[in-house]
């Protein structure tokens, strides 16, 4: 097996440590190795402490849930039986009362019943963040050389997970409503013609307030994606991996039923959820709803790695949900982000809209604004804009990192801005600085 194909912009630099030569490392370590985007951006931020970072997808520092967490901890400590259980090992699949609440909440959000959705707590797995779930599922269903269809653009950490496994991430056209089902079907036909259809194992979709594009996939497309995955599953099964990390961060508009709710047998969709964006990434609790045939294989992998995600965090989240502390907190967080996104869009209207060729998708949730600059502007780390932006005082994520390695087209003029961390004044300062930098390169 050769190294998975990778376009130059995302190929990571392999930096073997002094003690071990490259050949001492496993193939997977070599696929995974090198300096990551986060490391490069972090280094810039550390070297320039006055920089406004509109890069990191972190959450708002001021609304981190200190008080709800303290109250939930008190509730745990006031009950010695619960406290001791929380401090003990748990099960690989996760704490049953937490899994029950997760299932009830999912059914309520989707307006479904367990029977109609063919789901039970046996299919709900708790993980250390949803990244662990995404990794475990990928490791369970994908071999090196397999193909996952991803929206172009997509969540770059998951693209890294696929690279780590030697899996080919193939980009599919996405528009203001997310991944385009017709384009998925065309890509599957292309793979069929190339006798590669059997290598396509999954379609990855961030169904709510996508990272980086902030779009939400509408109901008709959700149904169409499940239908396509089923129709093209001949011999090998094509799963839809539904990533719902931002579902709770809705600022305007109505919620949409999950893609999983369009898969009543529950054999096609793998759903991943997270408490990182809605509550706290430090707690590291994520979860998944697995098709019945994947439960055992995923748990076998998980057991070999962690035999249970941190039990204490699971008790904490369970208590937060049980006592409505979570829901009260989410309402506060939404309000805070609604103000921040308004500040972001206001600053964009004032400073970016007057620049010819600058446009963006208007987000209704999530943490990101996906900006298109004039085609002549290369936003990459070694392009002319990035250093000027840093000198003017702002950091952003260059769009190229969000494109799957095999994308039909990788535009160089895209930027992901995140409004999660900076305060409203800094957001304004950062966008003004970005506009100055763009003017300079034009
Ligand atoms: C789309 C998406 N999925 C999953 C995650 C992973 O979150 P966690 O592992 O903290 O649950 C993130 C984090 O940024 C994300 O943006």
Last residue of a domain, one of 259, 292, 323: 323
Last residue of a domain, one of 272, 296, 323: 323
Whether residue 255 is found in the same domain as residue 337 = no
Q: Which of the listed residues 130, 275, 279 should we mutate to test ligand 1's pocket, taking the one with most ligand atoms within 8 A of CB?
A: 130
Residue 210 has pLDDT above 70, yes or no: yes
Whether residue 381 is found in the same domain as residue 264 = no
Instruction: Please tell me the distance from the alpha carbon of residue 125 to that of residue 145, in angstroms, as a whole number.
Output: 27
Instruction: Calculate how far, in angstroms, residue 439's C-alpha sits from the geometric centre of ligand 1.
Output: 33
Does residue 6 belong to any structural domain of this protein?
no
| Residue 114, domain CATH | 3.40.640.10
Instruction: Please tell me the distance from the alpha carbon of residue 214 to that of residue 229, in angstroms, as a whole number.
Output: 24
pLDDT band of residue 28 (cuts 50, 70, 90) is confident
Ligand 1 touching residue 155 (CB < 6 A): yes
Ligand 1 touching residue 291 (CB < 6 A): no
Tens digits of residue pLDDT in 159-187: 999 999 999 999 999 999 999 999 999 99
Count the neighbouring beta carbons within 10 Å of the beta carbon of residue 236. Answer: 13
3-state secondary structure at position 60: coil
Ligand 1 touching residue 286 (CB < 6 A): yes
- Per-residue pLDDT averaged across 283-304, rounded? 97
Is pTM beyond 0.95? Reply is no
CA atoms within 13 A on the CB side of 89: 7
Strand partners, 178: 175
Ligand 1 touching residue 131 (CB < 6 A): yes
Last residue of a domain, one of 304, 323, 342: 323
Count the neighbouring beta carbons within 10 Å of the beta carbon of residue 78. Answer: 9
**Number of the ligand 1 atom closest to the C-alpha atom of 155:** 1
| Residue 347, domain CATH | 3.90.1150.10
pLDDT at position 41 is 77
Q: Which of the listed residues 131, 241, 306 should we mutate to test ligand 1's pocket, taking the one with most ligand atoms within 8 A of CB?
A: 131
User: What's the token pair of residue 109?
Assistant: 């959000």
Rg of the chain's alpha carbons, rounded to an integer?
A: 22
Residue 230 has pLDDT above 50, yes or no: yes
Instruction: Please tell me the distance from the alpha carbon of residue 211 to that of residue 245, in angstroms, as a whole number.
Output: 9
Residue 278 contacts by C-beta under 8 Å, 6 or more apart in sequence? 248, 249, 326, 330, 333
pLDDT at position 92 is 98
Does residue 4 belong to any structural domain of this protein?
no
pLDDT band of residue 119 (cuts 50, 70, 90) is very high
Ligand 1 touching residue 130 (CB < 6 A): yes
The per-residue pLDDT of the chain, averaged, comes to 92
Instruction: Please tell me the distance from the alpha carbon of residue 303 to that of residue 434, in angstroms, as a whole number.
Output: 47
Residue 51, domain extent: 22-64+329-441
Element (H, E) at 397: strand 397-398
Residue 100 has pLDDT above 90, yes or no: yes
Ligand 1 touching residue 206 (CB < 6 A): yes
Ligand 1 touching residue 58 (CB < 6 A): no
Residue 2 has pLDDT above 70, yes or no: no
Element (H, E) at 152: strand 147-152
Ligand 1 touching residue 273 (CB < 6 A): no
Token pair 């089902």 is at which residue?
181
Between 35 and 312, whose confidence is greater? 312
Looking at the structure of the chain, the number of domains it has is: 2
Is the separation of the CB atoms in 216 and 298 below 8 Å? no
Q: How far is residue 136 CA from its own chain's centroid?
A: 15
């Amino acid at each position: 097996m050769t190294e998975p194909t990778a376009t130059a912009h995302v190929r990571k630099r392999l930096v073997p440590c002094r003690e071990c030569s490259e050949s001492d490392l496993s193939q997977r370590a070599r696929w995974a190795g090198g300096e990551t985007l986060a490391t490069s951006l972090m280094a810039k931020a550390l070297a320039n402490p006055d920089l406004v970072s509109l890069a990191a997808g972190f959450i708002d520092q001021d609304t981190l849930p200190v008080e709800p967490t303290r109250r939930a901890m008190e509730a745990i400590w006031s009950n010695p039986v619960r406290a001791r259980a929380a401090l003990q090992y748990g099960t690989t699949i996760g704490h049953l009362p937490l899994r029950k609440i997760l299932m009830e909440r999912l059914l309520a959000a989707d307006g479904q019943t367990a029977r109609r959705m063919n789901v039970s707590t046996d299919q709900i797995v708790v993980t250390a963040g949803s990244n662990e779930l995404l990794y475990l599922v990928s490791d369970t269903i994908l071999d090196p050389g397999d193909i996952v269809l991803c929206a172009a653009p997509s969540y770059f950490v998951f693209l890294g997970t696929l690279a780590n496994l030697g899996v080919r991430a193939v980009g599919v056209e996405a528009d203001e409503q997310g991944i385009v089902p017709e384009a998925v079907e065309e890509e599957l036909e292309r793979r069929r013609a190339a006798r590669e259809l059997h290598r396509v194992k999954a379609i990855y979709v961030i169904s709510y307030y996508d990272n980086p594009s902030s779009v939400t996939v509408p109901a008709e497309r959700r149904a169409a994606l499940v239908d396509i995955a089923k129709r093209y599953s001949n011999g090998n099964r094509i799963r839809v991996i539904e990533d719902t990390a931002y579902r709770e961060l809705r600022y305007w508009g109505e919620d949409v039923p999950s893609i999983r709710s369009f898969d009543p047998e529950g054999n096609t969709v793998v759903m991943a959820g997270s408490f990182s964006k809605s509550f706290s990434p430090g707690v590291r609790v994520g979860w998944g709803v697995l098709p019945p045939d994947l439960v055992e294989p995923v748990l076998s992998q998980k057991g070999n790695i962690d035999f249970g995600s941190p039990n204490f965090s699971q008790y904490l989240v369970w208590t937060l949900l049980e006592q409505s502390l979570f829901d009260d907190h989410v309402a506060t967080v939404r309000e805070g982000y609604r103000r921040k996104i308004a500040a972001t869009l206001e600053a964009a209207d004032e400073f970016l809209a007057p620049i010819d060729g600058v446009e963006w998708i208007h987000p209704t949730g999530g943490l990101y604004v996906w900006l298109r600059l004039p085609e002549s502007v290369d936003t990459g780390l070694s392009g002319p804009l990035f250093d000027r932006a840093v000198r003017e005082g702002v950091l952003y994520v260059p769009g190229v990192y969000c494109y799957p390695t095999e994308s039909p087209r990788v535009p160089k003029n895209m930027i992901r801005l995140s409004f999660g961390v900076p305060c409203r004044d800094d957001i304004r300062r950062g966008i003004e600085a970005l506009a100055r930098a763009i003017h300079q390169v034009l």
